[in-house]
Homo-oligomer: A and B are copies of this chain.
Amino acid sequence: MTDIKLNHLAIVVDDMDAALRFWSESLGLTQAGAVESIPAEAVDIAILELGDCHIELIQPTTVDSGVAKYLAKRGAGLHHLCLEVPDLDATLAELRKRGCELINETPRQRDGRRYAFVHPGSTGGVLLEFYESIAADPRG
Protein backbone atom coordinates (compact mmCIF):
# COMPACT_ATOMS: atom_id res chain seq x y z
CA MET A 1 0.00 0.00 0.00
CA THR A 2 1.02 3.51 -0.61
CA ASP A 3 -0.26 6.94 0.29
CA ILE A 4 0.36 8.34 -3.18
CA LYS A 5 -2.70 9.51 -5.05
CA LEU A 6 -3.40 11.35 -8.25
CA ASN A 7 -3.98 15.04 -7.63
CA HIS A 8 -4.44 16.17 -11.21
CA LEU A 9 -3.53 15.51 -14.78
CA ALA A 10 -2.57 18.41 -16.97
CA ILE A 11 -3.48 18.90 -20.60
CA VAL A 12 -1.85 21.57 -22.71
CA VAL A 13 -4.30 23.25 -25.06
CA ASP A 14 -3.97 25.72 -27.89
CA ASP A 15 -7.54 27.03 -27.66
CA MET A 16 -8.96 27.30 -24.14
CA ASP A 17 -12.48 28.13 -25.33
CA ALA A 18 -12.61 25.08 -27.60
CA ALA A 19 -11.13 22.88 -24.87
CA LEU A 20 -13.73 24.06 -22.36
CA ARG A 21 -16.49 23.45 -24.88
CA PHE A 22 -15.37 19.82 -25.10
CA TRP A 23 -14.57 19.03 -21.46
CA SER A 24 -17.23 21.14 -19.78
CA GLU A 25 -20.08 21.43 -22.28
CA SER A 26 -19.85 18.19 -24.25
CA LEU A 27 -18.66 15.93 -21.42
CA GLY A 28 -20.30 17.82 -18.60
CA LEU A 29 -17.34 18.09 -16.25
CA THR A 30 -17.79 20.86 -13.69
CA GLN A 31 -15.41 23.78 -14.06
CA ALA A 32 -14.05 24.97 -10.70
CA GLY A 33 -13.89 28.74 -10.83
CA ALA A 34 -13.00 30.85 -13.83
CA VAL A 35 -9.97 30.57 -16.07
CA GLU A 36 -7.03 31.87 -14.05
CA SER A 37 -4.03 33.71 -15.46
CA ILE A 38 -0.70 32.92 -13.81
CA PRO A 39 1.74 35.47 -15.24
CA ALA A 40 4.69 34.02 -13.29
CA GLU A 41 4.31 30.79 -15.25
CA ALA A 42 3.04 32.41 -18.46
CA VAL A 43 -0.08 30.26 -18.59
CA ASP A 44 -3.84 30.42 -18.29
CA ILE A 45 -5.32 27.53 -16.34
CA ALA A 46 -8.81 26.07 -16.10
CA ILE A 47 -9.71 23.41 -13.54
CA LEU A 48 -12.25 20.67 -14.22
CA GLU A 49 -13.44 18.43 -11.40
CA LEU A 50 -13.07 14.71 -12.03
CA GLY A 51 -14.06 12.69 -8.98
CA ASP A 52 -11.31 12.86 -6.37
CA CYS A 53 -8.85 14.51 -8.74
CA HIS A 54 -9.05 17.18 -11.39
CA ILE A 55 -7.98 18.06 -14.88
CA GLU A 56 -5.90 21.18 -15.48
CA LEU A 57 -6.21 22.73 -18.91
CA ILE A 58 -3.09 24.79 -19.53
CA GLN A 59 -2.69 27.33 -22.30
CA PRO A 60 0.65 29.11 -22.66
CA THR A 61 0.43 32.90 -22.92
CA THR A 62 3.91 33.45 -24.35
CA VAL A 63 5.90 31.60 -27.01
CA ASP A 64 9.10 30.98 -25.06
CA SER A 65 8.02 29.12 -21.91
CA GLY A 66 8.59 25.41 -21.47
CA VAL A 67 4.90 24.70 -21.96
CA ALA A 68 4.78 26.86 -25.08
CA LYS A 69 7.73 25.00 -26.58
CA TYR A 70 6.12 21.66 -25.68
CA LEU A 71 2.92 22.74 -27.44
CA ALA A 72 4.83 23.90 -30.51
CA LYS A 73 6.81 20.67 -30.70
CA ARG A 74 4.26 18.01 -29.75
CA GLY A 75 0.89 19.66 -30.17
CA ALA A 76 -1.99 19.84 -27.73
CA GLY A 77 -2.53 16.85 -25.45
CA LEU A 78 -1.55 15.22 -22.19
CA HIS A 79 1.27 17.15 -20.52
CA HIS A 80 1.99 15.89 -17.00
CA LEU A 81 0.67 14.02 -13.99
CA CYS A 82 0.67 15.43 -10.48
CA LEU A 83 0.93 12.92 -7.64
CA GLU A 84 0.13 13.96 -4.11
CA VAL A 85 2.51 12.54 -1.51
CA PRO A 86 2.43 12.81 2.28
CA ASP A 87 6.09 13.89 2.57
CA LEU A 88 7.51 15.62 -0.48
CA ASP A 89 11.07 15.83 0.87
CA ALA A 90 11.13 12.10 1.62
CA THR A 91 9.83 11.26 -1.86
CA LEU A 92 12.37 13.51 -3.56
CA ALA A 93 15.20 12.11 -1.42
CA GLU A 94 14.22 8.55 -2.36
CA LEU A 95 14.02 9.41 -6.08
CA ARG A 96 17.34 11.23 -5.94
CA LYS A 97 18.92 8.20 -4.25
CA ARG A 98 17.67 6.01 -7.09
CA GLY A 99 19.24 8.28 -9.69
CA CYS A 100 16.19 10.22 -10.86
CA GLU A 101 16.82 13.68 -12.27
CA LEU A 102 14.76 16.36 -10.51
CA ILE A 103 13.82 19.49 -12.45
CA ASN A 104 13.35 21.37 -9.16
CA GLU A 105 16.09 20.37 -6.74
CA THR A 106 14.42 22.68 -4.23
CA PRO A 107 10.62 22.42 -4.15
CA ARG A 108 8.65 25.43 -5.28
CA GLN A 109 5.90 26.83 -3.08
CA ARG A 110 2.61 28.52 -3.95
CA ASP A 111 -0.88 28.75 -2.44
CA GLY A 112 -0.38 26.32 0.43
CA ARG A 113 1.35 23.69 -1.63
CA ARG A 114 4.93 22.61 -2.20
CA TYR A 115 5.78 20.90 -5.44
CA ALA A 116 8.64 19.73 -7.60
CA PHE A 117 8.90 18.25 -11.07
CA VAL A 118 10.87 15.17 -12.07
CA HIS A 119 12.36 14.91 -15.54
CA PRO A 120 10.52 12.55 -17.93
CA GLY A 121 13.86 10.95 -18.77
CA SER A 122 13.84 9.48 -15.26
CA THR A 123 10.25 8.19 -15.27
CA GLY A 124 9.96 6.41 -18.60
CA GLY A 125 8.70 9.41 -20.54
CA VAL A 126 6.19 11.03 -18.18
CA LEU A 127 6.70 14.52 -16.80
CA LEU A 128 5.79 14.06 -13.13
CA GLU A 129 4.91 16.66 -10.55
CA PHE A 130 5.01 15.69 -6.89
CA TYR A 131 2.98 17.78 -4.54
CA GLU A 132 2.46 18.07 -0.81
CA SER A 133 -0.33 20.09 0.74
CA ILE A 134 0.98 22.31 3.50
CA ALA A 135 -2.16 24.34 4.16
CA ALA A 136 -3.00 22.33 7.29
CA ASP A 137 0.56 21.74 8.39
CA PRO A 138 0.78 22.55 12.14
CA ARG A 139 4.40 23.60 11.62
CA GLY A 140 3.21 26.15 9.04
Chain A residues near B (Cβ < 8 Å): 1-2, 4-6, 9, 11-15, 18-19, 22-23, 25-30, 49-53, 74-78, 81, 83, 91, 94-95, 98, 100, 120, 122-126
Oligomer copy total: 2
Bound-complex Cα distance A92 to B22 (A): 13
Residue in B closest to A130 when the chains form the complex, CB atoms: B27
User: Smallest distance from the beta carbon of A59 to chain B beta carbons, Å?
Assistant: 10
Q: Are A76 and B13 in contact (CB under 8 A)?
A: no
Bound-complex Cα distance A50 to B126 (A): 16
Bound-complex Cα distance A97 to B59 (A): 27
- A78-B76 CB under 8 A given contacts A30-B2, A100-B26: no
